Structure 1
């Protein structure tokens, strides 16, 4: 019984660790990391569930009571009494009910990526670019967490970071800058990053305040 309790304690600690990892993963992991991590968690959880099921099937949780019937001849122990009584083991079905999760449940948490032949394309949104900005080159388009759109373009000798609404309507120019823009991405906390290839810099921009907050310089050899 002590060995069984020790094994169950180890399994409990293992499940608690999985719960902590799952909580951290849902906050910080990417979808790909979640898919891989959930697969590993599912495998470990399935092993734990199988272990409990095996214990139940082997009657490890059944309650066992020992009843001892004392022989009436105990007072005649000196008269060749061969037994003090009989020991019978009475087994009663366990009241424990295991509620195990579905096998391979991780695959239902993250949607399976369809094959190329299953992907159906359709028009999602059209961005309405102002007439005075249509003669330009678009280098990047990014969708923000709130559904708005960022467009990085270059017009003549200037680059622009443009903000559009969820419906595709132009809102404003976020930042105008010089230099050859290469790409853009959304960083965090209303901050976007734009690489300026000709200046060997990455500019961090506050989308709400419409200004460049910081520039990171890189050596020419690093970019080459």
Structure 2
């Protein structure tokens, strides 16, 4: 504030005179010298004006000095106050803006005695409170900043400590995973080493027998050769049985060690709960080692096998553990155990090859349909309405994989490391053992029931259509069979390529030739067949299992 400044009388200044002003008229908005002040105080127009000394004027806030007494729009003196608009106005303002306003009062009534009014006291109190609040907020912010500075320092220290903790923990996890890898390798090394030792021993035996065989053929008598050949044949059968056992136990698949490391983000996020940096797993190749054995390929090479060679004999009968059962699928496992799908009770039942019930493997939520072997002790099961295929571990009684296929799932079979699933209305999906879809084969027939695959051909039953269809792997129909067949359901193929069908409507099991032109009833109602439903064949062992509608099941040699 300019306290040393002097002001010139505005009235004298108009007469080109310069005199120092001593007062200020707020209403006239002029500075007055002592002489002009006398005249100003005597004039009828201004004698009631409020006049203050220049000293007091200099103490006025800048905001007060900018307040005008005249209307900015009309340059007339403010005379009235409009309560509706909460503003002062001149006479012209009334006409322009406040013509319809009520409650206009003289300005003097509003501002008179304003300094002694309660409003001044209230405003002063509010101003004091506002100032105190602002100072309190200022202190709050200052203290908050100080606290944040301390928290920042503490947080950085905590992060450093946590980082060290993570480093220490990751070191432990790393060492643990390295130990697991070494341990798994040691197990595999021991197992494969033992198998290799067995192979070495058997190889020596066979090589010795091979030398004896050459000498036998060259030097022995016919009778000696006869007995010698039978002895060699026993060795061959034992060796083939040993190889088949290796194959059944998945020992003829290459084993690969794989480490699945968790991603860094999840490892750090769950660092306190993580017990490993990753997981070591042993994976098997999808195919067995290719060997030359007496197997399916050699038997298939027989020229034109005929249906007359099929002469089944009942080897075993299975009695379901529950009084009421509806068996919709069956599967012979490599060790000759058999798994049945009880559709009525939505469960899987395990029997040994002697016909003794072992256990209920699992009870499922959805309506079960069919089953096939996958690998080791795993089977695949289709759930109709849930449109799902499940991979189930028979020993551990648990689901290990699942896949929704987007259509109602019925028949399923396994052939050469692939699974074939009927998905209605008219598709066959080809899946690998990890349930990845490899191919979709459309069929011209809708509503197929069961499927079997052999070579490059697909064989399917059509329950309601009383037919059996043979397709190539593009879904083209090669032939169909509907002669004397009623409500065909389960289907399986033997090592000769004969097609076996369970016919519920005629209480029979029939065999159909490879070209679909001939058929033979191999089991009938007289043999205990009563509304047969599923059927399955083990080609290597030449055995067939089927189930009647009431759950009674039979194992046949074929």
TM-score by length of 1: 0.49
